């Protein structure tokens, strides 16, 4: 049954089956993750994108809220070879258009050859190819959303594990996954989550032991407030970052970032530590990368394309990762990153 259409920037209009009705538009990207669809769909880094799953069956173990990484679905639309009823109903309840019964292998190949592209989707009994093309035209005409952080960040400060016996971490929420908070709290840290546009005074009021810039969607150059915090505190307070956080920190310290052709999104990206030559498998979800590290040293690289996966500075007490050490979904090979982050905090003088 054809009652949905996907209009692509390369001129094609692909027929599909509507699983959650509606019209939508955004950047078409893909993930190679074969599990963890609940975590992927609730990852704030997918804000304003259309997520295509390369794995053919999505939903074979249901939908459980305890696996969510945030309080809602973030992609503007979902494309799959086959969606189960559980996932389709969840997306419809969330108001997120979804389609299946199309050749996702062809879509993924097109993205790999041409890069991430804009698309429009029309799904439902009255949908037409022209509706999808109209959505695509709207998408092409949209200027880049420079304040995307406002769509994914908390509005006010939140505290997690207030009675923790470990360091206090000021987590700047540019679109943080819940598992990052969990990973810090599990190690005894108190996490003070601050809005993406927090000021130096906001951080000072928290009096943290570590300043942590989270993951998030879009171009890292749009997160100017977070970059200002890095500029203010680098060398005065240990700094850490994941994904977009790495990019923001690099930009603030004389580096450069650039958009990738189709990004890294999946749970099997190999990363090599340049000091030990050890390779670990990682979870990734990003469309930008650090092209010049500035004042930081590249300590880890992606085995496939040699893009920087880890940046550090012993002098400035900075450690960042482009991949997601907290995983969810994915392997737990790199959970030790959180121990390294908290290990940057100096012990009180009385215990030294």
Per the DSSP assignment, residues forming a β-bridge with 183 are: none
User: With contact defined as beta carbons under 8 Å apart, do 293 and 311 qualify?
Assistant: yes
**Would you place residue 143 in the very low, low, confident or very high pLDDT band (cuts 50, 70, 90)?**
low
45 annotated ligand binder: yes
User: With contact defined as beta carbons under 8 Å apart, do 5 and 16 qualify?
Assistant: yes
Asked if pLDDT for residue 27 goes beyond 90, the answer is: yes
Per cent of the chain over pLDDT 90 is: 95
- Measured CA distances, 316 to 38, 228, 233 (Å): 37, 16, 9
CA-to-CA distance for 307 and 322, rounded, in angstroms? Answer: 9
CA-to-CA distance for 215 and 247, rounded, in angstroms? Answer: 9
Q: How many helices and strands in the chain, by DSSP H and E?
A: 10, 19
pLDDT in tens, 62-93: 999 999 999 999 999 999 999 999 999 999 99
Q: Is the pTM of this model over 0.85?
A: yes
Tokens of 64: 């459980």
216 annotated ligand binder: yes
Per-residue pLDDT, averaged over 2-25, amounts to: 97
102 annotated ligand binder: no
**337 Cβ contact partners less than 8 Å away, ≥ 6 residues apart:** 319, 321, 325
DSSP 3-state assignment of 64? coil
Report DSSP state, residue 10: T
Q: How many CB atoms lie within 10 A of CB 105?
A: 11
Asked if pLDDT for residue 351 goes beyond 50, the answer is: no
Per-residue pLDDT, averaged over 204-231, amounts to: 97
Torsion angle in degrees (nearest 10) through CA of 82, 85, 88, 90 = -140
Burial of 236 (0-12, 13-18, 19+ CB in 10 A): exposed
Q: Which residue has the higher pLDDT, 350 or 148?
A: 148
User: With contact defined as beta carbons under 8 Å apart, do 118 and 25 qualify?
Assistant: yes
Of the candidates 311, 189, 300, 162, which has an alpha carbon nearest to the alpha carbon of residue 242? 311
Of the candidates 78, 72, 70, 81, which has an alpha carbon nearest to the alpha carbon of residue 26? 78
Q: For all residues of the chain together, what is the average pLDDT?
A: 95
247 annotated ligand binder: yes
236 annotated ligand binder: no
> Domains of the chain, with CATH numbers?
4-141 (3.50.30.20), 149-351 (3.40.50.880)
Active site residues: 243, 324, 326
């Amino acid at each position: 049954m054809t009652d949905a259409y996907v209009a692509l920037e390369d001129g094609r209009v692909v027929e599909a089956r509507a699983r959650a009705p509606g019209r939508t538009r955004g950047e078409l990207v893909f993930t190679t993750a074969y599990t963890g669809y609940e975590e992927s769909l609730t990852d704030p880094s997918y804000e304003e994108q259309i997520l295509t799953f390369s794995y053919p069956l999505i939903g074979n173990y249901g939908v459980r809220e305890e696996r969510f990484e945030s309080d809602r679905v973030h992609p503007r639309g979902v494309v799959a070879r086959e969606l189960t009823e559980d996932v389709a109903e969840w997306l419809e309840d969330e108001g997120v258009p979804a389609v299946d019964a199309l050749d996702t292998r062809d879509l993924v190949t097109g993205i790999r050859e041409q890069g991430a592209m804009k698309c429009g989707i029309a799904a439902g009994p009255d949908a037409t190819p022209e509706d999808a093309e109209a959505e695509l035209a709207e998408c092409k005409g949209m200027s880049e959303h420079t304040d995307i952080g406002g769509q994914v960040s908390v509005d006010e400060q939140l505290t997690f594990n207030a009675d923790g016996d470990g360091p206090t971490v000021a987590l700047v929420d540019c679109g943080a996954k819940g598992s990052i908070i969990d990973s810090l709290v599990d190690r005894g840290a108190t996490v003070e989550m601050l809005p993406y546009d927090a000021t130096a005074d906001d951080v000072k009021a928290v009096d943290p032991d570590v300043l942590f810039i989270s993951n998030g969607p879009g171009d890292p150059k749009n997160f100017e407030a977070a970059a200002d915090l890095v500029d203010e505190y680098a060398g005065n307070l240990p700094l850490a970052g994941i994904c977009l956080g790495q990019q923001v920190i690099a930009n603030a310290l004389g580096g450069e970032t650039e958009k990738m052709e189709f990004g890294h999104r999946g749970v099997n990206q190999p990363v090599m530590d340049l000091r030990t030559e050890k390779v670990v498998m990682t979870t990734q979800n990003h469309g930008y990368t650090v092209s010049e590290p500035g004042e930081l040293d590249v300590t880890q690289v992606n085995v496939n394309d040699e893009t920087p996966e880890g940046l550090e500075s012993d002098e400035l007490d900075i450690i960042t990762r482009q991949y997601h050490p907290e995983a969810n979904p994915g392997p737990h090979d790199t959970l030790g990153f959180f121990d390294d982050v908290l290990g940057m905090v100096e012990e009180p003088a009385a215990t030294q």
